[in-house]
Amino acid sequence: MDESNSEPNTEEFEFVDVGEDLGAKEIISDHRGAFGEFGGEISKGFLDRAFREKILIVGVVLDGETVEEIEESLDELELLIDTAGADVVDRVIQKRNSPDPAMYIGKGKVEEILELALSYDCDTVVFDNELAPSQQANLEKVLKRTALDRTAVILDIFAQHATSAEGKAQVELAQLRYNLPRLRGKKNFSQQAGGIGTRGPGETQLEVDRRRLVKRIHKLEAELRQIKIKRDSQRKARQSSRTKKVSIVGYTNAGKSSLLSRLTSADVLVEDKLFATLDATTRQFGLPGGEKILLTDTVGFVRKLPHQLIEAFQSTLEVAAAADLLVHVVDASAVDPASNIKAVVEVLEQIGADQVPTILVFNKMDKADRGVLASYSDAIGVSAITGDGIEHLVTVLADAVQLTSQAYELEIPWSRGDVLAQIHREGRVESTRETVDAMQVVARMDTVLAGQLNEFIVGEDA
């Protein structure tokens, strides 16, 4: 759609029945939106998957943004909506200096969207930007159909793909946190009258629903706290182990699960869909030198990842923060790999994993030009499908894992050849120097091996 400038965002918006003015009263009376009469329950997602909903998407170009950036973001939103099980029929873009406080976009653009929605018989309008609860309620009042934002679509996809008990609890918690401030715009009627001695309207349905949601949120938070305690206990046990932990991170659908499957021959879900993997999957992998590591596939990231999901999936995302090394997988065939890398780095910063050593891996090179690697001198190009570049990746991975260990200086008497052999076998010798009485060695070792050989350590290297 063509872009158009809106009215000043300080305007006073008067709510009118626009649909009736357009002669659409009969059309909108039986609308079947995600929150409509035939809509799905919140626990199962925001979009009704009993049928393929028709969706109109809306993007807003704010100061500092370009139309091209918003178009690209809307392309991704369209993929998200398709993954959620609905069809995008058209898109609308508006340029604004800043969002309108009442409805995010201007009055004229709202009327234009309503006309389009009626012409397409759209069930739902989805905004690429996050809507405040009041903005969402105001839009639904005028449009007479569901207004959602990108956050709701992502939550819907997560609701479909969660399989484990933990994943389902995390998704439900995120949904409830999203829905709680939006209750006021949905229900405003009284459920029960006051009894004798309690004159008045009684408790409203809104209050009942709010109390139920808060109670459920507290229950889920308690469940996830228990899971976190168990995870922390398992993590401490792993930290006392000599096995290095490597987490595979990256943008959604970059091929993380395919890479894990290629490396470990693991039977993991591999689908060409956004957010196909929600539950962390860990497999053991043997490096060329014989050292074994734990490889973990993590949930994919995306631009504008809802903060509700980051909070709810904290225990899952902590796998990346607690890793010794990250393998950042990038879709080399993506339209803009650089922006995908930036989005992942931003999430890693939010979860405290930005300081973990990282290998940058461009996957799907069988579908991309090798020129995509030109701007990233240390990046590795692979194809998890064909296997190209995997051998080189394993070599680099082995070297990087060794570099995560502390370097120590040791003096080993010539009579202790067994100790020198152990260092070569279980550590990584970086340099040696012979003296009359001993062999001076600089080697990288894990804390367990360093503890065993503490009597021979004379210092630490950076």
* DSSP annotation string for 201-221: S-SBHHHHHHHHHHHHHHHHH
Question: For 147-204, where are the alpha helices, taking DSSP H only?
Answer: 150-161, 165-179
d(CA 21, CA 254): 47
Domains 242-402 and 405-461 alike in fold: no
d(CA 281, CA 150): 27
| CATH code of the domain occupying 405-461 | 3.30.70
State the pLDDT at residue 142.
93
Q: What is the model's pTM?
A: 0.71
**DSSP tally for the chain: helices H, then strands E:** 15, 14
Three-class secondary structure of residue 72 per DSSP: helix
The residues of the chain scoring below 50 in pLDDT are: 1-32, 35-43, 187-200, 202
State the pLDDT at residue 28.
38
Sign of the CA dihedral running 151, 116, 25, 110: positive
Q: How many other CB atoms are found less than 10 A from the CB of residue 407?
A: 17
Three-class secondary structure of residue 190 per DSSP: strand
d(CA 325, CA 328): 10
State the pLDDT at residue 241.
63
Class of domain 242-402: alpha beta
**Backbone phi, psi, residue 93, to 5°:** -125, 135
Question: Residue 410 burial by CB count (10 A; 0-12/13-18/19+): exposed, middle or buried?
Answer: buried
Is 368 in contact with 349 (CB distance < 8 Å)?
Answer: no
d(CA 402, CA 395): 11
In the chain, where the domains are located: 18-158, 164-192+202-240, 242-402, 405-461
State the pLDDT at residue 429.
87
State the pLDDT at residue 44.
54
According to the CATH classification, is domain 18-158 in 3.40.50.11060? Answer: yes
State the pLDDT at residue 13.
39
State the pLDDT at residue 20.
38
State the pLDDT at residue 30.
43
d(CA 93, CA 59): 5
* Strand pairing category for 358-363 and 406-413: unpaired
